[in-house]
Amino acid sequence: MVTGAPATMRERREELTPMLAQYVDVAERYDDCVVLFRVGDFYKAFCEAADEVARVCELTRIEREDSTGTYTACGVPVDNAPKYLRRLLDAEYRVAVADQVEDAEEASGLVDRAVTQVLTPGTVVEEELLSEGSNTYVGCVATAVGDTGDGSGGGTDGDDAAYGVAYVDVSTGECAVTAGDAAAVDEELARIAPAELLVGPAVPSEVVDAADCMRTERDPEEFAPDAAADTLAAYADPERFAAAERVACGALLAYAEYTQGDDGPLEYVRRVRRYDPRRSLRLDATALRGLELFENPVGSGRTLFDTIDETRSALGRRRLRAWLRRPLVDADRIRERHDAVAAFAERTLVREDVREALSAAYDLERLVGRVSRGRATARDLRSLHDTLAAVPEVRAALEGIDALADLRGALDPLDDVRERIDEAVVPDPPQEITDGGVIRAGYDADLDEVRSTAREGREWIAELEARERERTGIENLEVGYTQVHGYYIEVTNGQLEKVPDDYTRRQTLKNSERFYTPELKRREDEILGADERADALEYELFAGLRDEVADESDRIGELAGAIARVDALAALATVAVERDYVRPEMVDRDGGRDRDSDDLHLKRSRHPVVEETESEFVPNDAALPRGTVAVITGPNMSGKSTYMRQVALCVVLAQAGSFVPADSARLPVVDRVFTRVGASDDIAGGESTFMREMRELTDVLHDATGDSLVLLDEVGRGTATTDGRAIARAAVEFLHDEVGATTLFATHYHELTDLADEYDRVVNRHFAATEREGDVTFLHRVREGAASSSYGVEVADLAGVPESVVARAHDLVAAERDGDRSADDAGGRDGDDDGDDDGDTTEAIPQRTLEEVAENGHSEPSAAGRDRREASPDPSQATPGPEPEEAVAAVLAELRDLSLAETTPLEALNRLHDLQRRAEAVEEGSPGGEEP
């Protein structure tokens, strides 16, 4: 990544033209940035920096030649700059924009240029560069090493509060901070999802490893406790915060100030909120990903948020996102939200009116930021006016609805602010204040006077032509104006003798002469003076008004919050009505004293996202007394993981304030949702699937409580059967005995279903499939008890595995069942039904067969195996000779011996591909068994 001044230019600095030397100077000062240098209608980069900009922005480079030699340049068109700036930011560049800070026409030599904006992924405030429905945060993780303060604010987490985590949205001024241990940092970073992260000096890199965003280096001095506390003091009383919080927040705000031009504290950061992550439903990175709340890189790509986002404004959209990111854990507050959603859900007209009015709502949070930065335009203020004008409508709609009375009260239409703007600013002002015509007539007497002077002057000139034609008798005399020469009276050459004495020559053209008179000159000066004065006055008045509005930023901020809540609630109500969601009854936790009261009950619940795409979604019930471990079995693709997720999503939705997709719901308040679901394989990361799985399991077993909801899918799948099964069993026992968390445990280890006999809170559920004439149909319906078969082979058949392989697998399963039966008869039990056993059932005949093949490397099946084949009525099995069979056995043996624990997902895919190719070859009758 090339930033700062290109090395080749630095080396030749003495030879460079003055402009390029200026570029190098600027670029050296901003050596962590790509510098875009304004030249004419382009922002340019040169040499290596040009290569970089050209590559990222997909622009062409041009070879330039001047007295000093050739070099490359790349230009970003100024008119289209936001598009290219966005690309640079997405590629994690900091961009310094150097503008001309002097009028090119007035400059005596080289135009002076200076950096006017530093753009970074986490601190952009330009509207065109921000996504409207989500926040852009810059975050900071720091420690308070060396702090001598007493930290009397008290860490959120007492002694564990080693790290402060702060974040700020520079465009809206939202700023918050918390503290906690390394695990808390990880979890918070996943929730905040910053676009950019500052990391304090003493923070070990593994603490922030998981955050997938740009890192920004800052001077370690800014993380010094005293310096940080000083910065923070401009925003909040530093004593309110724990030591680590002070450092993280102070250093972060110092950086935010720097990116906004270092004009001191950011006025629109009105409040630094200190929060405790435990006061919301905790969702770590694995849970956020596993439940696909905001991201779904596979499948349909639709997320829970996409599905419920029926908001009408950017304010509401960001609020709903925040609610889903941090659902509540206080039953009363949850019920309050449900009350409000219910109130909207019951009243179609109110809901429609409110949503209609809100679709015109402007992004007041970002407006407040722009107003305080002195960047708000006349159009911004007018949009603020229009938004305020819509507030009474919303208030009126909410009139008389008890559940919405508080909300209605918070909707202050700010009549005074609205009237002030309306008095001052014309309804449709130009974009730039310098274009003039922003302030209304009648608003300011001085402005009116200068405008009338200018107008009268122009009227006098407008009538001048007629007057002078009459006075001089020159019929074709014309009055005109040019930028350079001003007003003139033009007389053609043939009429020159009629020109009166008071005309002074101004300009000679080919066929005519141009003149002025003393009166015309006087009027002209008057008009120009008045125009200039009017512009200055307009600017002054506008800036005054903007300051007045800035003084109201607290009230505007509060109104923005109220609008955001109304929009988010009305959106949830819309979802509830349109998709048949039901209000969940929230059960108060009583710590498990009365177990029944803590039951999680869902009647005919659905998966909110899958039901949108699946034409016939089958609803399912869930009844889970507190601390129940439900062992869920059933074939692949039968709906186990969908079911588990839908239970968790109902919990998350309910605690976020939403109704839930079910016919009825009774839900306890959950403190955390843990997941280890689906194939959350870190394909890019290359970490073995099994290692990751075990890490996730570790987190669950360590941190889950009796109030948690735990989803575990296929624990132990990534390793050899014996180990995997043992781990799965031990995990269930631990969750049952030690943790007491309500758990959904999907497994292909059928043997685990006998845990229900041993433990009183372990129950079996299964997903059934019907099998008719060898075809499998999934019912997607959860049932009591354990599944009878894993249908693995049928699924393989459905998936198109070659017939002979399927037939052989059927044989092996049948033989193994027989083997099991004899083993059972002998008093043992090992009902492995997944066909990939690793040798712990030595009595099983097919097992032997495989071992023979694997160890002896030849194809002769055991006598027993051959007998079974021959007895098979399946015609496809009548033909295969020993050759294909050898290939089949080799494929199976290789599969069996594959050490999943040491295989990355990518390797696994490659191996699978190879096996599949060989299996196809078997079917075609030419077993190409060459090893990779």
Judged by beta carbon, residue 636 or residue 655, the one nearer ligand ADP is 636
Judged by beta carbon, residue 299 or residue 480, the one nearer ligand ADP is 299
Determine if 655 is a binding residue for ligand ADP (CB under 6 A): no
In the complex, minimum distance from the CB of residue 642 to ligand ADP, in angstroms, rounded to a whole number: 3
Contact status, residue 618 vs residue 779, Cβ threshold 8 Å: yes
Touching ligand ADP, residues 579-618 (CB under 6 A): 610, 614, 617-618
Judged by beta carbon, residue 452 or residue 613, the one nearer ligand ADP is 613
* Beta partners for residue 142, in sequence order: 164
DSSP structure class, residue 630: E
In the complex, minimum distance from the CB of residue 293 to ligand ADP, in angstroms, rounded to a whole number: 17
Judged by beta carbon, residue 140 or residue 746, the one nearer ligand ADP is 746
Determine if 636 is a binding residue for ligand ADP (CB under 6 A): yes
**In the structure encoding, which two tokens stand for residue 465, read together?**
């032509």
What contacts 280, CB < 8 A, 6 or more positions away? 326, 327, 328, 329
Determine if 638 is a binding residue for ligand ADP (CB under 6 A): yes
Determine if 565 is a binding residue for ligand ADP (CB under 6 A): no
DSSP structure class, residue 739: I
Q: How far apart are CA 322 and CA 134, in angstroms?
A: 9
Judged by beta carbon, residue 396 or residue 618, the one nearer ligand ADP is 618
Judged by beta carbon, residue 697 or residue 893, the one nearer ligand ADP is 697
Sheet with 214-216, strands from edge to edge, namely: 214-216, 196-199, 138-143, 163-169, 174-180, 272-274
Judged by beta carbon, residue 620 or residue 708, the one nearer ligand ADP is 620
What contacts 312, CB < 8 A, 6 or more positions away? 355, 358, 359, 361, 567, 570, 571
Determine if 642 is a binding residue for ligand ADP (CB under 6 A): yes
Contact status, residue 165 vs residue 141, Cβ threshold 8 Å: yes
Contact region with ligand ADP (CB under 6 A), list: 107-115, 119-127, 577-585, 635-643: 635-643
In the complex, minimum distance from the CB of residue 715 to ligand ADP, in angstroms, rounded to a whole number: 13
Judged by beta carbon, residue 367 or residue 769, the one nearer ligand ADP is 769
- From residue 779 to residue 818, the character string flagging contacts with ligand ADP as x (rule: CB under 6 A) and all else as - is -x--------------------------------------
Contact region with ligand ADP (CB under 6 A), list: 284-292, 316-324, 420-428, 630-638: 630-638
What contacts 414, CB < 8 A, 6 or more positions away? 388, 391, 552, 555, 556, 559
In the complex, minimum distance from the CB of residue 648 to ligand ADP, in angstroms, rounded to a whole number: 13
Judged by beta carbon, residue 250 or residue 634, the one nearer ligand ADP is 634
In the complex, minimum distance from the CB of residue 876 to ligand ADP, in angstroms, rounded to a whole number: 27
With CA atoms as reference, report the closest residue to 676 among 700, 652, 654, 650: 700
* C-alpha torsion 477→482→486→488, nearest 10: -10
> Binding residue for ligand ADP (CB under 6 A) from 72, 135, 512, 641?
641
> Binding residue for ligand ADP (CB under 6 A) from 637, 795, 898, 915?
637
Task: Report the 10 Å Cβ neighbour count for 836.
Answer: 15
Contact status, residue 341 vs residue 329, Cβ threshold 8 Å: no
Angle (nearest 5°) at CA 780 between 779 and 784 = 95
Contact status, residue 313 vs residue 354, Cβ threshold 8 Å: no
Which 3 state secondary structure label does DSSP give 545? helix
Judged by beta carbon, residue 640 or residue 896, the one nearer ligand ADP is 640
Judged by beta carbon, residue 344 or residue 745, the one nearer ligand ADP is 745
With CA atoms as reference, report the closest residue to 427 among 463, 370, 386: 386
In the complex, minimum distance from the CB of residue 275 to ligand ADP, in angstroms, rounded to a whole number: 35
In the complex, minimum distance from the CB of residue 675 to ligand ADP, in angstroms, rounded to a whole number: 13
In the complex, minimum distance from the CB of residue 662 to ligand ADP, in angstroms, rounded to a whole number: 12
In the complex, minimum distance from the CB of residue 117 to ligand ADP, in angstroms, rounded to a whole number: 47
In the complex, minimum distance from the CB of residue 639 to ligand ADP, in angstroms, rounded to a whole number: 3
Determine if 640 is a binding residue for ligand ADP (CB under 6 A): yes
Contact region with ligand ADP (CB under 6 A), list: 272-280, 358-366, 532-540, 640-648: 640-648
* C-alpha torsion 323→326→327→333, nearest 10: -80
Q: How far apart are CA 175 and CA 251, in angstroms?
A: 13
Contact region with ligand ADP (CB under 6 A), list: 16-24, 489-497, 636-644, 895-903: 636-644
Judged by beta carbon, residue 292 or residue 811, the one nearer ligand ADP is 292
Site residue total, ligand ADP (CB under 6 A): 14
Judged by beta carbon, residue 180 or residue 639, the one nearer ligand ADP is 639
In whole angstroms, what separates CA 869 from the centre of its chain?
Answer: 56
In whole angstroms, what separates CA 335 from the centre of its chain?
Answer: 28
Residue 800 zone, left/alpha/beta (φ > 0; ψ -120 to 50; rest): left
> Binding residue for ligand ADP (CB under 6 A) from 200, 639, 668, 740?
639
Determine if 748 is a binding residue for ligand ADP (CB under 6 A): no
With CA atoms as reference, report the closest residue to 8 among 801, 16, 578: 16
Residues engaged in binding ligand ADP (CB under 6 A): 610, 614, 617-618, 620, 634, 636-642, 780
